[in-house]
Amino acid sequence: MIKKVLIANRGEIAVRIVRACAEMSIRSVAIYTEPDRYALHVKRADEAYSLGDDPLAGYLDPPRIVNLALETGCDAIHPGYGFLSENAEFARLCEQKGITFIGPKADIIHKMGDKTQARDAMRAAGVPITPGSEGNLSGVEEALTLADEIGYPIMIKATSGGGGRGIRRCDSPQELKLQYPRVISEATKAFGSAEVFMEKCIVNPRHIEVQVLADSHGNVVHLYERDCSIQRRNQKLIEIAPSPQLTPEQRQYIGGLAVKAAQAVGYENAGTVEFLFSGNEVYFMEMNTRVQVEHTITEQITGVDIVREQLRIASGLELSYRQQDISYRGFALQFRINAEDPKNDFLPSFGRISHYYAPGGPGVRVDTAIYTGYEIPPFYDSMCLKLVTWALTWEEVVARGQRALDDMRLHGIKTTATYYQQILQHPDFQQANFDTSFVPSHPELMNYSEKRHPSEIALAVAAAIAAHAGW
């Protein structure tokens, strides 16, 4: 069994991994750069080590992180999500140095991270994929010819892309000529590769993803699906498990496809297979070779601790469950509470949290690394916390989500919480009638008023009195 884990990440996911390690009597080691000196993951881990002043360089330095793991007696590294979590060279370096990488093997990360190789693997395994290029595009002329064959609209995508970056929709040859060099430029800057490919654009689909777990003994299971259709510019906002829109037959079918996809590439550890649903058609989109931000809602409906299973799998143990052991109960929602101002085009709102009160009550979970007085640095993702609610029925989980969002107090910065309340109040959402067009189709949901809660007014009055009294 793994004895000591270096967590190559920060924020709430680092705290999440620390907790799983503590429950399994595994020592945890945190890393941090100067802006994170007072971060919660640093306080909660058994040990913590500085990577220097640069906000990002340390978190993105594989040799330094692996060497630190060796120096501190760690036998494993958990990459979390983001940063180096899907960096094949990082995983390969761990393998070379005798450090267990808590994730799939380096060659699998590379294969599934390369979107064209992933499409080829799925095509060979009989998993349906969207019509598009077989391999990378050689230039805009080939792109124009292929687009005429498969029909507009089409998507130009970075082969090594992710996180909603390196993607452009084109509705005409003129748009394709304009957007092609932009995707090339963005892909080169963001991912260090100018390779791009083309897919048929599936208009207004439902974005459905399936959580899988696979061990080194040939066992692969799925933990049912999540609906990630509530998104803005390819960035997920609210996630749901299971999808309230799938029939039992569709649920069984897509779960089977995800298992088939994982088996086809010899996958190990936790991963997510993402699909697009359009009518009764389903298409493979990509596979994320890491733990997902939204793994929380799968845990809520199945009772499976996904991070614990990651640690067990990496230790060479078999899965704790077989497919017939896994069932789901009720519905769960996850709200990504971001430090952003929805009324100002979601402009980041970094700064000091003057007051934070976490919501609670039955069926409420909060994963976060913030606290009252914490200064949100401007160098990282804007997510402050993940608010998760669970209930037995769809109607109950929506109502509980509204209540939990109203319970939460987060002052000093702008957040997306009030905007999410508007979404939950919309009749289409309440009737589970939505797809990826929901957010752009409802700009009126931004027209909410910024009401100050009595608790916020009381805090402001107390601060003014204290300042006047010279406290």
Q: What are the residue numbers of the active site? A: 290
- Identity of residue 358: A
What b/e readout covers 304-333, taking b as 16+ CB neighbours within 10 angstroms? bbbbbbbbbbbbeeebebeeeebebebbbb
CB 176 within 8 Å of CB 170: yes
User: Count of alpha carbons within 13 Å of 285, Cβ hemisphere only?
Assistant: 28
Residues in the chain: 471
CB 277 within 8 Å of CB 205: yes
By DSSP bridging, strand 27-32 and strand 47-50 are: parallel
- Using the Cα atoms of residue 192, residue 198, residue 203 and residue 207 in order, give the sign of their dihedral: negative
